[in-house]
Chain A
Amino acid sequence: EPEVTQTPSHQVTQMGQEVILRCVPISNHLYFYWYRQILGQKVEFLVSFYNNEISEKSEIFDDQFSVERPDGSNFTLKIRSTKLEDSAMYFCASRWRDPPYNEQFFGPGTRLTVL
Chain B
Amino acid sequence: SQQGEEDPQALSIQEGENATMNCSYKTSINNLQWYRQNSGRGLVHLILIRSNEREKHSGRLRVTLDTSKKSSSLLITASRAADTASYFCATDPNRDDKIIFGKGTRLHILP
A-B interaction: yes
State the A residues within 8 Å of B (CB).
31, 33, 35, 39, 41-45, 48, 50, 55-56, 58, 89, 91, 99-101, 103-109, 111
* Cβ-closest chain B residue relative to A47: B98
* Cβ-closest chain B residue relative to A55: B97
Known contacts A100-B92, A101-B30, A101-B31; A43 and B43 CB within 8 A of each other: yes
Interface-side segment among B14-22, B44-52, B54-62, B74-82: B44-52
Interface size on B, residues (CB 8 A): 25
Contact with A along B66-105 (1 / 0, CB 8 A): 0000000000000000000000101010101111111110
State the B residues within 8 Å of A (CB).
30-31, 33, 35, 40-43, 45, 48, 50-51, 88, 90, 92, 94, 96-104
Q: Is the Cβ of B45 less than 8 Å from the Cβ of A105? A: yes
Q: Is the Cβ of B104 less than 8 Å from the Cβ of A42? A: yes
Please name all residues of chain B whose beta carbon is closer than 8 Å to the beta carbon of A101 when the two chains form the complex. 30-31, 50
Q: Is the Cβ of B30 less than 8 Å from the Cβ of A99? A: yes
Closest chain-A Cβ to B55's Cβ sits at a distance in Å of 17
Q: Is the Cβ of A106 less than 8 Å from the Cβ of B98? A: no
* Cβ-closest chain B residue relative to A106: B43
Closest chain-A Cβ to B84's Cβ sits at a distance in Å of 16
- The 8 Å CB contact of A99, one of B92, B102, B104, is B92
